[in-house]
Structure 1
């Protein structure tokens, strides 16, 4: 559903247009109101608006100035201008400002609805063009190296995709790779001469090195590369012909050539480490972790070094739990309140722990400290105390872990995360209830001037967010609530006071008495005077 903003310095006209036309029937979900150009721009900074209807002649920022300001900041917004002046200069400037329509007052309801429908059609066409296949393909081609690099980076961190999704991504990126291909991974570290240069020069060196690698490898292999978070250049080496095995001796020979040509032409040294043959994409994350560890342990601070990881060395080494550290991370899920996803994440962590390291007390400790770190970060970020959340379990935290089995750790984690979730959910409910109370108190005491924008300003919330929260908690929109409150107060005053009808209309926020009478009759079936007489 689209969002509409109506701007006019006559509040009764704005109210009339906002509430009396069947906006929902043409696809408008929310209608916002502003009494000036400045207020309109304020609303647009806080709320995504799709279409603006504005009067031309307003004090301060005119309607023409307003749509020019909108064009400068929100070029996708469609603007419709209303004017009581059949002036060619106004129309000419409106056309230059790319107004969607220019209507003369008094405008008929059907004419205005048609203009908004036309603006919606224009928006739909524009966004379809933006999101079209041709546009997406052109953008993808321009950014292909970056997109490929991001995908490889996600794989190194353990991101997984369904096989069908894999094939789509690989085809889209033009990599010519199929799942379950043989692969070898190579890490390259730039050294000596390359170190200490400014970032732009370092990027140029990296570009030159990858070009040399492409030149050396691509007659016999496919290469896919990126620079990782540790500064290594990561290369996936895949067979040129799909379905064939890798020639590892040939890869080692080309690696020595790469070292030689980098030293010869770029005057710097690089160290290289290569994995044994593995399967793409299944083994990417584990192969990367093993290579990183081996690079640190076996190459370390040596320069111009070459190393190939053997299968026997790989199998004897311990490794960390991949599920603990691959995205989405547990502390991100807890911080965002994505409780179901956090439960799934914990399930995957404990499943891996049980499958690979069920007898390893060290890995139970690693899991425990990682979970405690995530919990403390999230709890403190929410301005809460762990002792308040955890109760008696906090003492266990102070005394250190006493878990001897995975089941004990999993049970403790489930209990603590459950208590945290319950506390946060309760606070959110209390917070929303407090907002509702403030809204209703303000509306009751400022009925003559209350609107969604003034109430939102009073409670320091975005109008769109406030509207959603209020409806979620009460089942009623703020505009409907204000209208009902005004009618109830007007009915009470008609029964119990001697105030004149135009005075009652002004006291409940209607500057135009005729409009008040119309709305009152729609609600009660009789005019205010007939109601009072009865």
Structure 2
């Protein structure tokens, strides 16, 4: 998403420009308004927007002087200037000085839209010419963010792809090997169907399929069973039309994909909207709460076993809801329990990354309750140091806490307790902290692409890493690198 600053000494004019077009659909975000050239320059130096739309006649620095200062200070911001018919000589001067374009006031919607489309193409080419290996992936990250509103049709139009069929599906596929790196996006044309392919992870490809569901259902099945034959896990979104938001389709396909990962026997999962919750879960949850309240271990274990069977095969976002209800009860009745301190609320994707299966989730929950009321086991001399040394030397590898417990002949719950006592945090948070710290160091090396950084610190999903890094650091990796 390219950032744009709007500058005009009349606030109502600046506001009007900010609302004139759907900026996000065209790949832009208005990040601010300024009402004189001097404050605009300070804003540009601090935030480094890719584009500025500025009036020419302003107090302090005028538009021409602002353009000069941007060039002199090598800020790299593209400038679009605006003024009335009587100031046409300024237009000639502005273009000579390197302005991207010149608009006549009052700015019309079609006029602004045409200029912005050309500017987007120029900025994309500028990135490619600069050899930025992460340019396309960064743009995709912004587009696929959960809050994005860009529709499938707008996304395709922005990339010069002509929609030819009424129905759209988005498929996310994981492969047992690294996917092609020569391009993050490409279009594959097939009989009766078009596929726009995006690389969205080291081992992950996303496909936007255009087809006519009424006429070509067989071709869709042939594509999934044929072209995706090598994929280890496949998640398919709900069908939609070109007016549906791209980010929502990607999110739905991801839920299906992680559901497939969570249940080893389900290689292909299709997302189901408003899937009914399994019967009996509410009753079992009430019984579990009663058992927790009365500290009846056998009752808790029986309820957890029943919940595991009731939830088996459930779509992962729904299972995450049930899981987090259990965590709420644990926090309510066991807030001081040492063996349950590291059990935390998790989203559907965090569940899939933290646990290998639904059985592993309930094993962890059951073990935590079994340890309650038992005296602390003695810590063997040097045992904690050996565990920490092992974790610190292998934190970039995909090692589950259960595997470490087996390696050191410890129960999962007791190991969690030891790590919490030693580090002050949970195993997953400790690993994340180590990986983020390493990523920040690697990002200082401009010769290493963000995609390479992702792989070096132990992640396979570029978009997951971007969200995680932004959550902990406050900036995306690409923006952090520019500091």
TM-score w.r.t. the length of structure 2 is 0.32
**Max radius of gyration: which structure?**
1
Per residue, is there more helix in 1 or in 2? 1
